[in-house]
Structure 1
Amino acid sequence: MVVMERQTERERGRLPEPGRRRSRRGRRVLIGAVAGCAVLGGVLVLLPWDGGDAPPPAPGPAAVARGAVTTGVPAALPDLAALIGDRISHLRAHPLDGASWAVLGAAYVEQGSRTADAANWPKAEKALQTSLKTGAKRNPQALEGLAALAVARRDFPAAKKWGESAVKTAPKRWTAHAVLVDAYTGLGDQEGVGRALDKVLELHPGTPAAGALAAAVYRDRGWREDAAARISDAAAGAEAPAERAAYLEQAGRLAFERGDREEALRFFQEALRTDPDQRAAQAGQGRALAALGRTTDALSAYQAASAKRPGPEYPLELGELYESLGLGQAARVEYDLLRDRVRGAEAAGADGQLLLGRLEADHGDAAEAVRVLRAEWGRQPGTAVADALGWALHRTGADEEALEFAAIATDGDKGGGVRSALHVFHRGMIERSLDRYGPARRHLREALTINPYFSPLRVPEAKRALTELGEPPVEGPPT
């Protein structure tokens, strides 16, 4: 995860106030896309200014996007398209410009993450590898870009390798430490996550970007109030619309996870008003609307998000919403679409095994889900994989082993500190199958307390299971 801090030239005292007289000759103005770009890869260009007392023109879309991607902040899709076109034109004339190859690669990574278009991944990899070949071998921008690409592909071992190389090359580059937070999270390395976050907060304190990253880590640790405070401050402090919308979407997810449907919907709607291309917020809107019982609106929001950001994750949510409404055929269409999209993403180098395993466990071949998820656990043992593998094992009847993984996913001492209603529900259902009725009761109630609306399919199942379990027997004092 990568972020930036913005600051205008006038705030840094480098531009005169509008009312101050300027000479029309011999004056130059300093135009920079972002603060700190001399360190993080942005460019400063000296141009003659002959605009009298008028303020200098604002940076163009390509410059704005370059300032964003070189410091890891979410960029607007039109600006990213402008930057990609600009760098391609530049590189035709200057094919040995390693820094521009790195910028192009980072832009492709950001565009692919925003649009869920896996066709960006091979382009990004080619540009970043070219940057390493044409520029200095110890190229922190390209190394960091390759780490971010690996995170986007869910290849966390590769993300760790490239991220640690970037940190070794440029230890003071805070964005390299930021991408390592994602890499270590995917590998279940909680100590590594803590170290990387501490470095980000040391090198880049008090910024919206650092606050958003801290919020994500605090959420995974179960510190929900701290996470909400951090992301609220980040959204309030962000200046660019795309950046602010990304933080609002993150705030909406946090609100929904704690069961606050109305607040989540407000965050998602504000994110879309701020940046209409924020499709993750549109899917979140569908999630919140479904929880509020506004089913028709929820379906429309999900369908729009899935069409405009054709990643594999939204068909699973939309399919389960259809299934909860008794529309089995429509649900199966979505599940088949998910499989097609996972195949397409994997052809471009992405890892879709976690999502595919979750789908097969609940809506397909549970034995295949176990096979897929065992391999995923062996390669990158994160909390989400532990939960999915435990549930898949339960669906095949291997409940004793399933409980071991469910405990990893829900026990803070084992890394599962996130307060996930779905994870706790899975553990409760596994314990029920093992006739451990007390823990099962406790965990099913906890799931519904964490978020009473966590799944249109699983919430009714949790309530039925609790009814069947009944109240614990009342025993008198021993004789």
Structure 2
Amino acid sequence: MLISRAITTCCVLAVSVAAMLAAETAHADNAALFDAADLAAKERRLGDMERAYDDILATDPTNVRALSGKAAALAWTQRYREAQATYQRAIAIAPGNADNHVGLGYAYAWHGDYPDAHAAFREALRLKPNNLAAHKGIAYSYMWSGEQDKALTAFQRARTLAANDAEIAESSGIAALSLGRTRDAVDFFDEALRLQPDRSSARNARRNAYRSAPSLESTVRLGSTTDAGAGFRYAELAHWLSKSTRIAVRYDNTLGLDNPSVTDRDEDVPGYFASVRQSIGSRWQLIAELGRRDLPAGDQDVLGLQAHYRMGDKVLRVGGELGRHDEGHSDRLVYAGINVPLGESFSIDPTLYLSQTGVDEDSEWRGVVNVEYRGNPNWTTGVFAGGGTIDATDPASNGSTFVAGAWANFAVADRHTLHFLVRREDAPSSAFTVAEVGFTYRLPGN
């Protein structure tokens, strides 16, 4: 009997020791997997991050930390429904964990389920009223759902918990800008830059605040054309009636300065124009322009129409111009182009032009490709080249055309812009080079 009890006791002890050793081994393995998952998250290796958490859950399916980590990986890879379900599993095990409610809120918000997101963030705040992540989450959820007034209020509540948080200051500025409160937005962006001087996103947002809807914008351009004219080429004065509506008047003498036959006779060909630019929703922008040109042989009334349509990160552009001469004939121009991003810094913009001009309706087609490079938020530059064919009644005007040039824009004091342009034109009846400098001055809105 004693021997039997001793054997039984030894077996129990052996099993217990084995279980303890297995638990310690599993704990050590899990610790290593958690470390691997944390490193993968830091390096944005989201697949490795998810696999590490899956390995933990394979042996410990109720591990709340692993469930939360896997849910985050799912959300970051835009598998929002799976992320929501995984966060809900974690919440079912640990309903008092406010951070999991915050994670669930973001998984809802990123999927566009804003009412559910608001509810999740509010539950996190009920559990932990000073949870900064929950305050930020509900503010962002309002922002993404288009409720900018509520977003701004929520960001201000978050600022009471973290007055030195540059992200909150910048986000407050974005919300204020969406409400048309440009000056308030600039103040918020300035605060973000005071807190974090190297915060480039706040600096870019501040610059965009000045440019997105200024109350007044004025542009002047001066230049010189070889074998033709030099001087004041272009001036425009624009005013924003609202964030989506811009009206402008423009003086344009480029047609005369670029035409040697006109400048040889010391004549001007000024044009006077008025335009309206209207944004419709987030995709459409329409531009209408009426004007009159004082031509040497008689005046010309001009009607121009243009439409821009945003397709994801591309912008399609179509337009036309009708110029009716006092003598009764008309000039016609139609064009179409598309702007296509090439990575983060480059974009390409091919455009095709078709025109008919003069009493004899001489026709021309021309294709031009512009390539733009955004070096940093303070400057952009580009080159363009193209050509086409003129089919004219006068044989001397028949033939091919060529155009090429380069341009650059530089930000001045964040809100103004300095422009440079050099352009070469070759056609059967004329050839010239234009050098141009311009400046755009902007006053912020409200």
TM-score computed with the length of structure 2 as normaliser: 0.39
Q: Which structure ranks higher in relative contact order (CA pairs < 8 Å, sequence separation ≥ 6)?
A: 1
User: Which structure is higher in strand share?
Assistant: 2
